[in-house]
Structure 1
Amino acid sequence: MGILSSLYTGVSGMTAQGEALGVIGDNIANANTIGFKASRAEFQDIISKNLKGIVGGNQIGRGVKIGAVNPILSQGNIDATEKVTDLAISGDGYFKVKGSDGESYTRDGSFHFDREGYLVTNDNQRVQGFSTDEKGNIVNKMTDIKFPRALIPAKATKELKLDLNLDSRMEPTKKFDPADPYSTSHYSTGVEMYDSQGNKHLVSFFFNKVNDREWEFKGLVDGKEITGGEEGKMSEVAAGKLMFTVDGKLDSQETTSTNFNFKGGALQDQQVKLNFGDAIKDGGKGLDGTKQYGKNSDLISWHQDGAAAGTITGLSFNDEGTLTAVYSNGQANDLAQIALAKFENPEALFKVGNNRLKESRDSGTASVGAPGAAGRGKLFAKSLERSTVDLATEFVNMIQNQRGFQANAKTITTTDELLNEVIQLKR
């Protein structure tokens, strides 16, 4: 009897509308879930009854079903936070994480460091990224992101660079005496350096004018710091001379002796390059570095490349996803870079809960690389991506699906009344 099919048609409508309400309910429930993408139920009709075979037309539908539930992959709002491990993606891409159930992907960047120093998600999945080499350069090696808790090693000074002005008005009347260096020099200044064990030493440089275009320099430290030195006396660790052009530019520099042999088990005969700037005879133009002008002698700037041992005092991400550690010795080193994965069909990723998704056959294989490269999104540090759920839209959709459910229920009650009339025919 044809009227019976309308019962099943109404049931299919109620089932589909109920499942659609479930999708809407899930969206509303996840309105504050970080990185959540709202989904949409998409309906399909069920195969129809043909009244005239394959001729076409004259078909009666058999109801409706949920054909697909697809996420709407729009960009969520990026909100700034104060947590250094919060990261947000603007554009395509997913964070790659790894745990007991293998690799998965997420847009939720609310990370933190666990007690072992690993960067993890809220369900303890380890965040994946590219490691660095000994020089802090990012290398193409995927690994768990982790910060070292051990001391970073000390680094001996290999170069001391000084940028000075030596007063050309000085008369070459003084003869340097290491027993009374300050009174027998035209100019003196002090700089710091480190031995191979990371011990800091103050090196005092003394400059004496020899003639109109030549200066001599001596580098001295406290004798108790040098092998063979005497406590209470200054010991010479470097000596040399500087030559200038007639216009006061550095013409050449020469180090005639070095004696960086610090005590305490440090490396003996430590090689330290003394650099006073860009000399013409060294292939430069004499534009940078030490000068001889008619103004008071002064140390303009100095630099050395050594460092003491240090521990981590702070961590931060930049907008390229690079994790940088700041150490107690003033050094800053890059530790790793966040990796982003991109899919050809991200709508087909399989949800596994906890804001995570897994690769599926239809999603394609993950293409992993650096943020901002090859179409991958940009990262924002100290930020989180909010849910894309629009509550106003969801409530409108809820009303629409509620009315659809009620209308299908009305189909069933109406059919029931008609069947009741058929039953009454016997009377």
Structure 2
Amino acid sequence: MGILSSLYTGVSGMTAQGEALGVIGDNIANANTIGFKASRAEFQDIISKNLKGILGGNQIGRGVKIGAVNPILTQGNVDATEKVTDLAISGDGYFKVKGSDGESYTRDGSFHFDREGYLVTNDNQKVQGFGADEKGNIVNKMTDIKFPRALIPAKATKELKLDLNLDSRMEATKKFDIKDPYSTSHYSTGVEMYDSQGNKHLVSFFFNKTADREWEFKGLVDGKEMTGGEEGMMSQACAGKLKFTVDGKLESQELSESNFNFKGGALQGQQVKINFGDAIAEGGKGLDGTKQYGKNSDLISWNQDGAAAGTITGLSFNDDGILTAVYSNGQAADLAQIALAKFENPEAMFKVGNNRLKESRDSGAASMGGPGAAGRGKLFAKSLERSTVDLATEFVNMIQNQRGFQANAKTITTTDELLNEVIQLKR
């Protein structure tokens, strides 16, 4: 009987509208969930009878069902925060995390470091990224992101670079005496360096003009710091010569002696390159580095590549997702880079709760890479992506589904009245 079938049609409508209200309720409940994407219930009609078979037309519908519940993958607002480990994705992509239930993916970038130094989510999933080698270069190797808690090793100085001006007006009248270096030199200055154990030493350089365009230099260290040195006396650690062109540019530099032998168990015979800049005779143009001009001698700049042992004093992410550590010895090093996963069909990913999703057959395999590469989104440090739920839109959808539920309920009550009339026929 057609009247009975209308009962089931009404029930299917009430069921579908009720499930749609459940989707709306879930959206509203997650209005403040970080990285949440609002979903939408999509209906499909049900066909139960074709009056003319394959000829088409004259088909009787038998209600409605939920055909799909798909996420609406729009971009959420990116809000700045003050937390160093907060990260937000703007565009396509997901953070990859790993835990006891395997690999999963999330847009929730509210991370923190646990007591073991791992970067983790709020449910203790370890964030995945590309690691760095010993030189701080990011390599294409997926790993847990972790910062080392141990001391970083000391680094012995291998090169001292000095940029000076040596006064061309000086007369070649002084003869250097190591017992009285300051009075017997035309110019002196001091720079720092480190031995193999990370101990800092002051190297005093003394310069003497020996000809119109020629200078010699001596590098002295306090004798008590040197093997075979006398306390209270200076010990010679290096020596060499500098030659200049007629226009004051560095023509050549020569290191004739290097004798860095520090006490305390440090490496003996430490090799240190003394670099005064871009010499013409060495294939340079003489544009950078030490000059001989007619002005007072002065140290313009200097640097060296050694460092003491150090511990981490600060961590920060940049907008490329690179985690950089700052150490107590003034050094900085890249530790890792956040990896982003891209899917061909992200709408088909499988939700597993806790703001995480898993790869499914229909989503395709994850394509891993750095932020901003191959269509992946950009990364914002000290930021979080907010939920895409629009409460006004959800309330309008709620009204529509509520009315649809009420209308389907009216279909059932009307059918009940008709069945009551059928029962009355017997009287």
Return the TM-score normalized by structure 2.
0.99
Post-superposition offset of 1:9: 0.5
The runs of 5 or more residues in structure 2 that have no matched partner are none
Contact 2:145 2:336 in 1 (8 A): yes
CA distance, structure 2, for counterparts of residue 334 and residue 9 of structure 1: 63
The Cα offsets for residues 225-253 of structure 1, whole Å up to 9 and x where unpaired, read as 00000000111101111111111111111
CA distance, structure 2, for counterparts of residue 338 and residue 271 of structure 1: 38
The Cα offsets for residues 276-309 of structure 1, whole Å up to 9 and x where unpaired, read as 0011100111110000001111000001000000
CA distance, structure 1, for counterparts of residue 368 and residue 285 of structure 2: 47
**Secondary structure at the residue paired with 1:26?**
helix
The Cα offsets for residues 304-361 of structure 1, whole Å up to 9 and x where unpaired, read as 0000000000011111111111000011111111111111111110000000001111
CA distance, structure 2, for counterparts of residue 171 and residue 56 of structure 1: 112
Post-superposition offset of 1:186: 0.8
The runs of 5 or more residues in structure 1 that have no matched partner are none
Between 377-386 and 260-269, the greater mean CA deviation after superposition: 377-386
The Cα offsets for residues 197-251 of structure 1, whole Å up to 9 and x where unpaired, read as 0000000001111111111111111100000000001111011111111111111
CA distance, structure 2, for counterparts of residue 50 and residue 254 of structure 1: 100
The share of aligned pairs that are identical, in percent, is 92
CA distance, structure 2, for counterparts of residue 324 and residue 18 of structure 1: 50
Post-superposition offset of 1:148: 0.4
Superposition pairs for residues 77-88 of structure 1, below 5 Å?
Answer: 77-88=77-88
Post-superposition offset of 1:52: 2.7
**Secondary structure at the residue paired with 1:15?**
helix
Contact 2:172 2:211 in 1 (8 A): yes
CA distance, structure 1, for counterparts of residue 418 and residue 360 of structure 2: 48
Post-superposition offset of 1:48: 3.3
CA distance, structure 1, for counterparts of residue 50 and residue 213 of structure 2: 108
Question: Do structure 1's residue 31 and structure 2's residue 31 form an aligned pair?
Answer: yes
Between 410-419 and 152-161, the greater mean CA deviation after superposition: 410-419
CA distance, structure 1, for counterparts of residue 237 and residue 114 of structure 2: 48
Post-superposition offset of 1:164: 0.2
CA distance, structure 1, for counterparts of residue 362 and residue 381 of structure 2: 32
The Cα offsets for residues 24-56 of structure 1, whole Å up to 9 and x where unpaired, read as 000000011001000000000012322233322
The Cα offsets for residues 35-84 of structure 1, whole Å up to 9 and x where unpaired, read as 10000000000123222333221122100000000001111111111111
**Secondary structure at the residue paired with 1:243?**
strand
CA distance, structure 2, for counterparts of residue 130 and residue 321 of structure 1: 10
Post-superposition offset of 1:426: 2.2
**Secondary structure at the residue paired with 2:47?**
coil
CA distance, structure 2, for counterparts of residue 126 and residue 149 of structure 1: 17
**Secondary structure at the residue paired with 1:46?**
strand
Post-superposition offset of 1:256: 1.1
Return the TM-score normalized by structure 1.
0.99
Contact 2:47 2:59 in 1 (8 A): no
- Root mean square deviation of aligned Cα: 0.8
Question: Do structure 1's residue 208 and structure 2's residue 208 form an aligned pair?
Answer: yes
CA distance, structure 1, for counterparts of residue 211 and residue 139 of structure 2: 53
